Structure 1
Amino acid sequence: MNVKTEGTKLIIERTFSVSQERLFKAFTTSSELEAWWGPKGWKTTNKRFEFETGGYWHYCMKCEDKSQGDFYGMESWGLAKFKEIQAPERFLYEDMFSDEEGNVNTDLPGMDIEVLFVPTEGGTKLITTTFFDSAESLERLSEMGMVEGTASQMDRLEEYLK
């Protein structure tokens, strides 16, 4: 996994040995997303999933791994709004922290995330670009473990696709 920052953008790249269509489907089908989304030891449940422009994805990640100490039993709710979809090449969504009811947590920064699926020799390169409103927001979420969580999540996706 390659990670870099450019100003207020966090760019993560990883190549998977599956077709563009297969990788796109893993991100855009509710049951598939639930099977791998989130860091290792966490289970994701989609409360709402409408993969269409203007549609919402409301989900909960819950830590089910007792070895993760204080994180065990913790729930993390998210709300996303799909802004643009060009299947199977890319989609763009706004990602926000929320509560169980879907109310946005304004104490934590929201972000726009573009997900690109680029065909390569023998697979597909996934490129996610997260756009933050400020360098401080990027730094705050980085300190909360966003990159490490994404790395763990990409490992889970790799295992799921096998």
Structure 2
Amino acid sequence: MSETGRGASAQSATADREVVISRVIDAPREVVFEAFTEVRYLSRWWGPEGFSTTTRAFEFRVGGEWDFVMHGPDGTDYAEWITWTEITRPERIAMLHGESRDDPNAFESVLTFAPDGAATRIVMHTLFPTKELRNEAVEKYHAIEGGRQTLSNLAAYVTEIVRKDAEG
């Protein structure tokens, strides 16, 4: 798993502001993509281990918003806000993610979904406004490990969907 902005993108002018995490998920691309499209799916897997999500508003469309609170295992609540800036089914989702609509520190994320045999390779590429905000997200909020855990939760969720569909 690639986990930093290093490696292939080391020549990039934005490498010191990036976090890139990828994972192969044993499910078809359409199923993995679909897990992002409805709040009833997202609420089942979104976030690192031990976190839960309460949604205040959700509309999956370009310009639509997801306003939610992530509840940490220690009882801390984190206000979150996402607006989708691009949706290309079933291959790409781009979004702006911050604490609120007017968050000056909001960051951009692009998720790509590529077939990998019968599985799907998802790549989560995040670009922060500054190197300092990237480093804070990594060091204080454990963004790399949290991203890995989020994709692990997604993998477990969609693998369960595929298994149930095969059985039923």
TM-score, structure 1 length as denominator? Answer: 0.86
Question: How many residue pairs were aligned?
Answer: 149
1:32 aligns with 41
1:155 aligns with 152
User: By percentage of residues, which structure has more strand?
Assistant: 1
1:83 aligns with 85
Stretches of structure 2 that go unaligned for 5 or more consecutive residues are 6-14, 161-168
1:48 aligns with 2:57: yes
Stretches of structure 1 that go unaligned for 5 or more consecutive residues are 66-71
- The DSSP-based 3-state class of the residue aligned with 1:93 is strand
Residues 4 and 19 in structure 2, CA contact (< 8 A), matched pair in contact too: yes
TM-score, structure 2 length as denominator? Answer: 0.83
1:112 aligns with 2:108: yes
Please list the CA deviations of residues 66-110 of structure 1 after superposition, one character each: whole Å capped at 9, or x if unmatched: xxxxxx221111111111111111011100113xxxx6454xx21
> Percent of aligned pairs with the same residue?
28
- The DSSP-based 3-state class of the residue aligned with 1:2 is coil
The whole-number CA distance in structure 1 between the counterparts of 2:152 and 2:80 is: 21
- The DSSP-based 3-state class of the residue aligned with 1:83 is strand
Residues 21 and 148 in structure 2, CA contact (< 8 A), matched pair in contact too: no
Please list the CA deviations of residues 13-51 of structure 1 after superposition, one character each: whole Å capped at 9, or x if unmatched: 101010110000111211000000011111112211111
**4+ runs deviating over 3 angstroms:** 103-106
Task: Please give the root-mean-square deviation of Cα atoms over the aligned residues, in Å.
Answer: 1.4
1:68 aligns with none
1:122 aligns with 2:118: yes
The whole-number CA distance in structure 1 between the counterparts of 2:157 and 2:110 is: 22
Deviation at 1:111, TM superposition (A): 0.4
